[in-house]
Amino acid sequence: MRHTMRRWAVHRRSNKSLDDLARMFNPVLRGWLNYYGSYYRSALHPTFRCPDDHLTRWAKQKYKRLRRHHRRARHWLQRIMRTQPGLFAHWQVLQSTAGQ
């Protein structure tokens, strides 16, 4: 799964918006969640941190104020994750199991 995510080259798609990226990748993420997460969903947490890392790198490429600030880009992404938890399929799962 991580190899497939790496091949997406999210950080090179700085011309796309976050909504566009969600539309492109949600069907695949949702399929992985349904297939691999049917029994032991929390085991997918390390795997699904990977797209968040790629999205952080994408934000650093897209927004000039985040360019050399990894922590600031990570906080920016976490703020979006809190305000729009349904944007990416894996965000819903990460937040629902983190509250347990």
Assess contact for 77 and 11: CB atoms under 8 A: no
Question: Domain extents for the chain?
Answer: 19-25+47-100
> Distance between CA 1 and CA 47 in Å, rounded?
8
> Distance between CA 14 and CA 34 in Å, rounded?
29
90: tokens are: 């894996």
Mean residue pLDDT of the chain comes to: 89
| pTM across the whole model | 0.85
pLDDT digits (tens, 9 = 90+) for 42-76: 888 888 889 999 999 999 999 999 999 999 999 99
User: Rounded to 5 degrees, what are φ and ψ at 88?
Assistant: -110, 145
User: Rounded to 5 degrees, what are φ and ψ at 18?
Assistant: -65, -35
For residue 96, the model assigns a pLDDT of 61
CA distances from 36 to 1, 21, 44, 74 (A): 11, 22, 8, 26
